[in-house]
């Protein structure tokens, strides 16, 4: 792979009412123990919607109904990953298959969580629209 190539990652911003779904990354993974919006790498030939459907089904047992607007795109420093945060509508009750913990957090709580770096930048972006 080209050393300058980037790998797109879909991060699903799933909201129910005024609460957002986040998962805690396993300790052995990059940014282990930090909270993130769920998602994963986009495979070659896959659309962003297909990636979100596959990742949320595998990781959380959720069915993605739709993928909305791209809210922010952030390069994860020190990696080839470009995290793309999308509004996501998903059905079902999430089950932590990959994450060590799951939670639904209101906006004020998001600002106090230990977030993965790209996710912290996204929450700061949200904060500009949510005083």
Write out the chain's pLDDT in tens, 131 residues: 455 689 999 999 999 999 999 999 999 888 889 999 999 999 999 999 999 999 999 999 999 999 999 999 999 988 999 999 999 999 999 999 999 999 999 999 998 999 999 999 999 999 888 64
Q: How many domains does the chain have?
A: 1
Of 6, 17, 22, residue with least CA distance to 98: 22
Per the domain annotation, does 1 fall within a domain?
A: no
Residue count of the chain: 131
- What's the maximum distance between 2 C-alpha atoms anywhere in the chain? 42
The CATH number for 74's domain is: 3.90.79.10
% helix, strand, coil for the chain, step of 5: 25, 40, 35
Of 59, 44, 45, residue with least CA distance to 11: 59
Per the domain annotation, does 30 fall within a domain?
A: yes
Range of the domain at 113: 7-129
Sort strands 7-16 and 81-91 into parallel, antiparallel or unpaired: parallel
């Amino acid at each position: 792979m080209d050393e300058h190539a980037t790998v797109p990652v879909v991060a699903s911003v799933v909201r129910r009412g005024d609460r957002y779904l986040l998962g805690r990354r396993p300790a052995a993974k990059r940014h282990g123990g930090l909270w993130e919006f769920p998602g994963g790498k986009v495979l070659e030939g896959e659309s962003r919607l297909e990636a979100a459907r596959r990742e949320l089904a595998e990781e959380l047992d959720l069915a993605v109904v739709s993928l909305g607007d791209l809210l922010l795109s952030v390069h994860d420093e020190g990696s080839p990953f470009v995290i793309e945060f999308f509004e996501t509508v998903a059905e079902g009750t999430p089950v932590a298959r990959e994450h060590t913990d799951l939670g639904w957090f209101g906006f004020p709580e998001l600002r106090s969580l230990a977030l993965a770096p790209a996710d912290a930048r996204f929450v700061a972006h949200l904060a500009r629209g949510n005083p």
